[in-house]
Structure 1
């Protein structure tokens, strides 16, 4: 049963340890698969690129072969990306969101891929920040707590999976729904 919150209370929503571990396992599996796929692509691309270089070099055109050898930079870069992915160990932060009497604080999220955009730590003023619970639908198999804020013309949004929280998501919505001091 949810209890009533006052606007001066601090609410810290942490990730449930079991849910957090499950998400980290899934991220590690996906990161590993992406790394293996990148290395396989790099090897295949490198072999396809190497064949014309060998043919041109065997024909006696060393200058053209050297120029073609520069095209090996692309598969090399993809291979380096793959190795870096295999070394990556993504972790979830302990805290999902902290709502203080004056701010709403989100921790930085570690990128599961070198291709994913960075999610930096943010601190929003509590005044004007809203939260709602969106039920699972379509391809999304989990309900979300969606935080929104309008800063001038910029609409900001952060989401947290409601099923991985150790706090009742209704407490979070209630904490931001009431008037803040």
Structure 2
């Protein structure tokens, strides 16, 4: 492979569809469970709080109980946000140009986890390694960026790509070996 060629690695369409369906199911279940947990915790806090308020118990107990209602409310709000999420894999997994390695933005399935931003790494400080499948873990292509004293990693499942992982290794190593 020539070092000045641009390689665009895409996700396999069939695998991408399966992953997106699985993610939708998991996101929905997580949202429902957060709503149920928030409702149950709210009831566990609210019932004693109402009983204490009607019995004329100290106001400090009512304030503490009211503060404890924040946790169930947060769970309910996060559960509602989770139900609205529609995570999708990007069409392109990675693009290797003569000067850089481009990663697309990836939306995570959790309402708490931030989205992975699109990144551009310099090619000369980026290495790639393919970890073959072993046990329950699927094979993956792991990119590592050595920038000064810092080390960053991004990985892609090798079985979800439309090309063999060796093509990615050859494209990145070209004449720019780290």
TM-score (ref. length: structure 1) = 0.91
Deviations 1:94-153 (A, max 9, x none): 10000001000001100111122431111011113111211112331x210111121111
- SS of 1:44 mapped into structure 2: helix
Deviation at 1:69, TM superposition (A): 2.4
* Residues 23-62 of structure 1 aligned to structure 2 (within 5 Å): 23-61=19-57
* Residues 1-181 of structure 1 aligned to structure 2 (within 5 Å): 5-61=1-57, 63-64=59-60, 66-67=62-63, 68-140=65-137, 142-180=138-176
Deviation at 1:64, TM superposition (A): 4.1
Output the CA distance in 1 between the equivalents of 2:124 and 2:66. 59
The alignment of Structure 1 onto Structure 2 pairs a total of residues equal to: 176
Output the CA distance in 2 between the equivalents of 1:97 and 1:112. 20
Output the CA distance in 2 between the equivalents of 1:80 and 1:178. 49
Structure 2: 5+ residue stretches without partners = none
TM-score (ref. length: structure 2) = 0.92
Output the CA distance in 1 between the equivalents of 2:108 and 2:72. 23
Deviations 1:48-69 (A, max 9, x none): 1012211211112473464122
Query: Structure 1 runs of 4+ off > 6 angstroms?
Result: none
Output the CA distance in 2 between the equivalents of 1:114 and 1:44. 20
| RMSD (CA atoms) | 1.7
Deviations 1:21-61 (A, max 9, x none): 11111111111111011011101101110122112111124
